[in-house]
């Protein structure tokens, strides 16, 4: 799972609480934080956003970007706090809502993840990643019907997503719907023929369906595939 990156826009920065630092200088500090982040200089970037936050404690973008840097530096607890603070300041901030939901999914708080990702979808209903990540949360909660609906929604928005077909195939397989599972795995492989683990999953499904020759063929393909994108 991948979090969204930095918020670059400084539009509206003058609307934040004013300080004795000129807005253009504070904007430069913000920009330097992003630059450090892009160079994987996480501590330096965090320090720049600390400066912005000290002077503008209601700058939700600074909290959000510091959260991204904290996450990338391995501080998931700090990242969660920063995304939460950004949402406290701006509850409809999609990027923070998506990232907090995705981080909660990674932390295995599936119910809270689904709640956050639902809120993210209400703000931006055309984002395929939000549906796909919520599908993963629903899967872990055992809500397979909702997970399938979300994978379908994601695929309507991005029909060439092999990972989404894989996820949908897993749900079908968990439900015991073997033919749709095999079809979803086939669609994933048509988009990414190097996805060796999909060959293995489809082989397992074929074996359960009594199609041993197809299962053997997939096992051979999986073993001979050296690279995978999934």
- Report CA Rg, the chain: 21
- Angstrom distance (rounded) from CA 63 to CA 35: 16
The CATH fold assigned to 21-75 is: 1.25.40
Average pLDDT rounded to a whole number, residues 155-161: 97
What is the reported pLDDT for 229?
59
Average pLDDT score over the chain: 90
pLDDT for 23 beyond 70: no
The pLDDT tens digits of the residues spanning 77-132 come to 999 999 999 999 999 999 999 999 999 999 999 999 999 999 999 999 999 999 99
- Is the separation of the CB atoms in 202 and 186 below 8 Å? yes
pLDDT for 6 beyond 50: yes
pLDDT for 185 beyond 50: yes
Q: Is 15 exposed, middle or buried (0-12, 13-18, 19+ CB in 10 A)?
A: exposed
pLDDT for 21 beyond 70: no
| % of the chain surpassing 90 pLDDT | 82
Instruction: Report how many helices (DSSP H) and strands (DSSP E) the chain contains, helices first.
Output: 12, 0
- Angstrom distance (rounded) from CA 201 to CA 106: 23
What is the reported pLDDT for 4?
63
pLDDT for 16 beyond 70: no
Q: How much is the pTM?
A: 0.88
What is the reported pLDDT for 25?
77
Query: H or E stretch including 17?
Result: none
What is the reported pLDDT for 225?
87
Which residues 6+ apart lie within 8 Å of 146 measured at CB? 135, 138
Q: Is 141 exposed, middle or buried (0-12, 13-18, 19+ CB in 10 A)?
A: middle
Q: Tell me the Ramachandran region of residue 9: left when phi exceeds 0, alpha when psi lies from -120 to 50, beta otherwise.
A: beta
Q: Regarding predicted confidence, which is higher, 7 or 51?
A: 51
What is the reported pLDDT for 226?
73
pLDDT for 205 beyond 80: yes
Record the tokens describing residue 87, joined without a space.
């949402």
Record the tokens describing residue 204, joined without a space.
């397992």
Domain 160-230 in CATH: superfamily? Tetratricopeptide repeat domain (1.25.40.10)
- Angstrom distance (rounded) from CA 197 to CA 229: 10
pLDDT for 13 beyond 60: no
CA dihedral 144, 150, 151, 157 (to 10 degrees): 170
Instruction: Tell me if domain 21-75 and domain 160-230 are identical in fold.
Output: yes
In the chain, domain spans: 21-75, 160-230
């Amino acid at each position: 799972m991948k979090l969204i990156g930095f918020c670059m826009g400084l539009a509206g920065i003058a609307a934040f609480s004013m300080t004795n630092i000129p807005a253009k200088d504070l904007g430069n500090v913000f920009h330097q934080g992003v630059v450090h982040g892009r160079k994987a200089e996480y501590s330096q970037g965090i320090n720049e956003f600390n400066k912005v936050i000290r002077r503008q404690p209601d700058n939700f973008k600074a909290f959000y970007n510091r959260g991204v840097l904290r996450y990338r530096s391995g501080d998931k607890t700090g990242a969660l706090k920063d995304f939460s603070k950004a949402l406290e300041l701006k509850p409809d901030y999609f990027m923070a809502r998506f990232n907090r939901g995705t981080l909660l999914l990674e932390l295995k708080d599936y119910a809270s993840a689904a709640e956050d990702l639902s809120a993210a979808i209400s703000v931006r209903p055309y984002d395929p990643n939000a549906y796909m990540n919520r599908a993963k949360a629903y899967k872990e909660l055992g809500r397979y019907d909702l997970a399938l609906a979300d994978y379908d929604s994601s695929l309507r928005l991005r029909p060439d997503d092999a990972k989404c077909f894989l996820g949908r195939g897993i749900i079908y397989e968990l439900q015991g719907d073997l033919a749709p599972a095999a079809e979803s795995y086939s669609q994933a492989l048509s988009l990414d023929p190097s996805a060796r683990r999909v060959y293995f999953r489809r082989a397992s499904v074929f074996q359960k369906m009594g199609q041993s020759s197809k299962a053997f063929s997939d096992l051979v393909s999986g073993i001979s595939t050296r690279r995978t994108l999934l």
